[in-house]
């Protein structure tokens, strides 16, 4: 039941604001399930594959998915996602936690600033659009593999602010791109032993239901208050992660040995 509720919360917020839900799922898995940071990132990526499937389907029903844009994003991201997963695995847990804390605060600032950012008047087309999508995929893939998130925090602003997508089309397209990117990153984490398969039977149904509900409500609910509350929670969580203490050399050696074992 706990796994189901974690998936439900992550899927709901992910579908509502166009993120994969990892920014909610990972702190809950670490805090409630007492999972290691590395395993939380790997397990989150497995779950985010289903977030992308459910969310993209919901947005597609409303005509808000650009399949070509999703393919271009994923075409470069699937390669860098594997590199990001290996980089995360090489980091000590305290460094990974601090990195994740900084990432949460960055996400929060982007959410708060979104209404005030400049939007292009006309959608870009041609090679400029293709180049932006490919470059965005490169950066997003690495971030996704490292942080265990879907990458919507980078994909959505790039599509809206630079290319000129509508908010709904950007969110739907980013959710679809998360599917192959999540598979690439999750496979690498699984090979590295960073996936807890035992919680997936409860987590995945919650994600599927939550993402459908969040994606549906995105079209009928004002997001201003929810965005502020969501950002405040992320800032509080991120600040806690940033204060993760550096362990002594002996403690760090034991932690690395346990993770490798």
Say which range, 65-69, 126-130, 137-141, 187-191, has the weakest mean pLDDT.
126-130
Q: Tell me which of 232 and 43 has the higher pLDDT.
A: 43
Which two three-digit tokens encode residue 112? 């708060």
Report pLDDT digits (tens) over 100-152. 888 878 877 876 776 666 555 455 667 888 888 999 899 888 988 888 777 77
pTM of the predicted model, to two decimals?
A: 0.74
Question: Domain range holding 72?
Answer: 2-260
In contact, 84 and 144? CB cutoff 8 Å: yes
pLDDT of residue 254: 47
Tokens 């690395």, located at residue: 256
- pLDDT at 76 exceeding the cut of 90: yes
Output the pLDDT for position 256: 47
227-258 residue pLDDT tens: 676 677 678 878 888 888 887 665 455 444 55
How buried is residue 240: exposed, middle or buried, by Cβ count under 10 Å (0-12/13-18/19+)?
Answer: middle
Number of domains in the chain: 1
């Amino acid at each position: 039941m706990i796994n189901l509720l974690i998936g439900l919360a992550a899927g709901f917020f992910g579908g509502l604001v166009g993120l994969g839900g990892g920014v909610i799922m990972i702190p809950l898995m670490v805090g409630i399930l007492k999972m290691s940071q590395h395993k939380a990132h790997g397990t989150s990526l497995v779950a985010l594959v289903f977030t992308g499937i459910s969310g993209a389907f919901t947005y597609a029903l409303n005509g808000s998915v650009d399949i070509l844009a999703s393919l271009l994003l994923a075409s470069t991201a699937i390669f860098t996602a594997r590199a990001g997963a290996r980089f995360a695995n090489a980091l000590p847990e305290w460094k990974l936690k601090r990195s994740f804390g900084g990432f949460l605060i960055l996400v929060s600032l982007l959410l708060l600033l979104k209404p005030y950012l400049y939007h292009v008047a006309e959608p870009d087309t041609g090679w400029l659009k293709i180049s932006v999508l490919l470059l965005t995929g490169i950066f997003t893939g690495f971030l996704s593999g490292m942080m265990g998130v879907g990458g919507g925090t980078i994909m959505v602003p790039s599509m809206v602010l630079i290319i000129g997508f509508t908010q709904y089309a950007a969110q739907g397209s980013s959710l679809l791109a998360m599917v192959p990117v999540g598979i690439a990153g999750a496979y690498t984490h699984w090979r590295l032993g960073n996936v807890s398969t035992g919680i997936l039977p409860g987590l995945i149904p919650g994600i599927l239901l939550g993402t459908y509900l969040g994606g549906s409500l995105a079209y009928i609910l004002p997001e201003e208050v929810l965005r502020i509350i969501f950002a405040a929670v992320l800032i509080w969580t991120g600040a806690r992660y940033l204060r993760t203490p550096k362990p002594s050399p002996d403690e760090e050696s034991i932690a690395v040995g346990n993770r490798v074992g």
